[in-house]
Structure 1
Amino acid sequence: MAPRGKQPQKTAKPTGQSDSITKPKPQAPNWPPLTPLIPAEHLSLETRWPSLVLLVRNLFTSSLCKNYVSFLSSLPLTTTPGKPKRGQAARVNDRFQVEDPVFSKMLWEHSGLQYLVDSFEDPATFGGKVLGLNPNIRVYRYRPGQFFDLHYDESNKLEFGEVKVPAKTTWTLLIYLTACEGGETVFYPEPRRKGDKTPDPIVVEPETGMALLHKHGDDCLLHEGREVKSGEKWVLRSDLVVQR
């Protein structure tokens, strides 16, 4: 794996660590209601990098974020091992993971995400017919000194919904529940053609209630979660799921 702050060779593609948590599997928590929310028609998808990085400002209101951080603080978070497996990026944070199709459906239908994705000007951007959100829900907390090193997010295959539709994930969804000093999500685009100047990094600062969508799999941009300097970065994570 390449040193932090330097882009690895094309042959080395460090991936995010597996989010599997076993023995025992946690039960789906009693999530707080998704209220108050801004009406979906008042939200918009902001393009930070065409077809690869999108933002939704104020997907969650500040009061909703506060309620969720208070609730998530009560969950049994697990600290990520400091030494990654071979081929995985170094990551130090606290996390919780659960399979919860009921919550993922509620988040998809009521937050405004479904409205924004279905009405997006170029539906092909999302890699197929979007079915909803990955029921694999993850919670991340980054405290001062914690970070997620340079890596790529992989696409995963799954059987989606009660009828088990063959599906796959295509875009990562991160919902920032807090702001903090540091903790930026930074993407490193490559030149479009050989000899072109390397584009400037795309820096996304944590913003309370903001959602970040970025494409993963073969088209994923190299990216990192920079070290948190002060405060805490709380993130709710899922993925867009499309039919395959």
Structure 2
Amino acid sequence: MAKVKYSKSKTTAKKLQSTFTNTTTAAATPPNWPPFKPALPIAALDLQPPVPGYADKILVAHNFFPKSLCRDYVTFLNTLPLITTPGRPKRGEAVRVNDRYQIDDARFAQRLWLETGLKGLVLDDSVKHLWGGEPVGLNPSIRIYRYTKGQYFDAHYDDYNLVTLPSTTEPSGTNTRTVWTILLYLTSAAEGCIGGETVFYPHDRKVAKEEIAVGLETGMLLLHKHGEDCLLHEGREVLDGEKWVLRTDLCVRR
């Protein structure tokens, strides 16, 4: 399949991508997600930029999930009704060819926030200034991506969303805005997945010598800033095996 050119306009690209996300049909009943066993975190977590100089845009946390838990999740996710994305996007929209599942599940988002060490990681004094507000939780829109051989996500930007989170103290919920994309890689070369790197282009153009390529690592968390400050990025083609990703977003109070 021929790849289309990415849009040079961040606003155009983000609007088109947001439209696709909002029209994706999600299942009505959340699945019975596997428990977090062993108890998380399995080791001290920290957030570091994959290359120097980009801590305000891209961060990774190694060993967020142990490999055994990643295997349990991949086995479980294979049972979900994944839908293959359209191969012919609207004009100006980046090509995305993968299988995906999307569900609104505030309870699971809360589990990810409170039971994995993520909240403490995000609120650490060394990084809490990066988020552009007070982090209060995760986007309940949980997305699962599977990329098989030949599948990829062409260069694009991630838009922000306005989200109301459930609250025990605010009857109408907590009004938030998403600020950073959160990707949890469940497979890598260790499980036979070749290719599929997430690649960022700091100057809004695809220039090989400027790229920041983040390779897959089983159990690694990747956070990158989105909205107006989002870097142009792509998910490279998977050359063999399967790339599994769990995605949500960091929410700050507005």
- Secondary structure (helix, strand or coil) at the match of 2:111 reads helix
Q: Quote the offset at 1:239 in angstroms.
A: 0.1
Measured in 2, the distance between the counterparts of 1:76 and 1:205 equals: 27
Q: Quote the offset at 1:86 in angstroms.
A: 2.7
Could you state the TM-score of these two structures normalised by the residue count of structure 1? 0.89
Contact 1:37 1:61 in 2 (8 A): no
Q: Quote the offset at 1:21 in angstroms.
A: 2.7
1:192-207 maps to which residues of 2 (within 5 A)?
Answer: 200-207=210-217
Q: Quote the offset at 1:11 in angstroms.
A: 6.7
37, 57, 65: which is aligned to 1:60? 65
Alpha carbons of structure 1 residues 37 and 208: separation in structure 2 relative to 1, 3 Å: farther
1:1-244 maps to which residues of 2 (within 5 A)?
Answer: 9-10=8-9, 13-15=12-14, 16=17, 18-19=20-21, 20-22=23-25, 25-39=27-41, 42-48=44-50, 49-162=54-167, 163=170, 164-179=173-188, 180-190=193-203, 200-244=210-254
Q: Relative to structure 2, which stretch is displaced further, 25-34 or 181-190?
A: 25-34
Measured in 1, the distance between the counterparts of 2:248 and 2:47 equals: 17
Paired residues in the alignment total: 235
- Secondary structure (helix, strand or coil) at the match of 1:14 reads helix
- Secondary structure (helix, strand or coil) at the match of 2:49 reads strand
Alpha carbons of structure 1 residues 65 and 224: separation in structure 2 relative to 1, 3 Å: same
Which one-letter code corresponds to 1:47 in the other structure?
P
Which one-letter code corresponds to 2:177 in the other structure?
K
Measured in 2, the distance between the counterparts of 1:236 and 1:198 equals: 27
Alpha carbons of structure 1 residues 69 and 122: separation in structure 2 relative to 1, 3 Å: closer
| Overall identity of the aligned pairs, in % | 49
Cα deviations across residues 44-95 of structure 1 (Å, max 9, x unaligned)?
Answer: 1112322000001010000000000000000000000001123321100000
Ranges in structure 2 where 5+ consecutive residues have no aligned partner: none
Measured in 1, the distance between the counterparts of 2:161 and 2:152 equals: 23
Measured in 1, the distance between the counterparts of 2:252 and 2:219 equals: 25
Q: Quote the offset at 1:14 in angstroms.
A: 2.4
Alpha carbons of structure 1 residues 7 and 136: separation in structure 2 relative to 1, 3 Å: closer
Cα deviations across residues 160-187 of structure 1 (Å, max 9, x unaligned)?
Answer: 2233211110000000000121100000
Which one-letter code corresponds to 2:44 in the other structure?
H
Measured in 2, the distance between the counterparts of 1:120 and 1:175 equals: 23
Aligned to 1:194: none
Moved over 3 A (4+): 6-13, 37-41
Could you state the TM-score of these two structures normalised by the residue count of structure 2? 0.86
Q: Quote the offset at 1:158 in angstroms.
A: 1.5
